Amino acid sequence: MRQQDPVSKLVFELSKLPGIGEKTATRLAYFILKQDTSYAQSLSESVLNAKTKIALCSNCQTFTDTDPCRICSDHTRVPALICVVEKPSDVFSIEQSSRFPGLYHVLHGTLSPLDGIGPEDLKITELLKRLETMPASSEVLLALNPSVEGEATTLYLTKLLKMLPGIKITRLAYGIPMGGRLEFTDKQTINKAIENRMEIKSQ
């Protein structure tokens, strides 16, 4: 079939998505064709809405359709606790746990000298500016991924933030994932889990 017909065009567009090959794209396209028109309409609208209505929050730099974003303008949240993450989807991941009471700051990347990404390419200036107006005894939780770049960024930010008085710097705990099994856990994680072992307190 030529690329001009609507089905092939849809397969072509879908196969640009990450992890979606031509076979999966074909399956998805035919699934969309089999559904009611209402599904195609709402999918189509939500793709366009998400892209056109979304900008960066001027405060925390995450993707948002309102400025400041819903999280930054939520007055039930703790303003003295900022969780620094790599990308907007990390905000989404942490929000799903419903356990984090504070605000976020999205760096939009990690330091990576090999890729030519330095501190000036990340939203670090914006973070420092926010910290200037923070209440006393604030906490910054560095929640970057435990990759080489994530670790380097954590180290860089720790050094930078230590120069600001009265700010507590924390990081996520490392250990065996919940539901994980020792036999399937890599050495480094086991090492970290032993290193950070916790006392069982009698209740």
Which residue's CB is nearer to a second copy, number 78 or number 194? 78
- Could you say whether residue 30 binds a second copy (CB under 8 A)? yes
- Could you say whether residue 104 binds a second copy (CB under 8 A)? no
Which residue's CB is nearer to a second copy, number 58 or number 196? 58
Structure tokens, 195: 């290193």
Applying CB under 8 A, the span of 33-41, 128-136, 161-169, 194-202 interacting with a second copy comes to 33-41
Bridge partners, residue 84, by sequence: 105, 142
- Could you say whether residue 6 binds a second copy (CB under 8 A)? yes
- Could you say whether residue 147 binds a second copy (CB under 8 A)? no
The Cα 137–Cα 116 span in angstroms is 35
> Residue 85, class by beta-carbon neighbours within 10 Å (0-12 exposed, 13-18 middle, 19+ buried)?
buried
Task: Out of 60, 61, 63, 127, point to the residue binding a second copy (CB under 8 A).
Answer: 63
- Could you say whether residue 194 binds a second copy (CB under 8 A)? no
Applying CB under 8 A, the span of 47-55, 117-125, 132-140, 189-197 interacting with a second copy comes to 47-55
The Cα 111–Cα 155 span in angstroms is 10
The Cα 20–Cα 30 span in angstroms is 14
CB of 3 to a second copy, least distance (A): 11
Residue for token digits 């500016």? 129
- Could you say whether residue 80 binds a second copy (CB under 8 A)? no
Burial pattern 98-131, b for ≥16 Cβ within 10 A else e, equals eebebbbbbbbebbbeeeebeeeebbbebbeebb
Which positions lie near a second copy, rule CB under 8 A? 1-2, 5-7, 9-14, 16-20, 24, 26-33, 35, 37, 39-54, 63-65, 70-71, 87-89, 92-93, 95
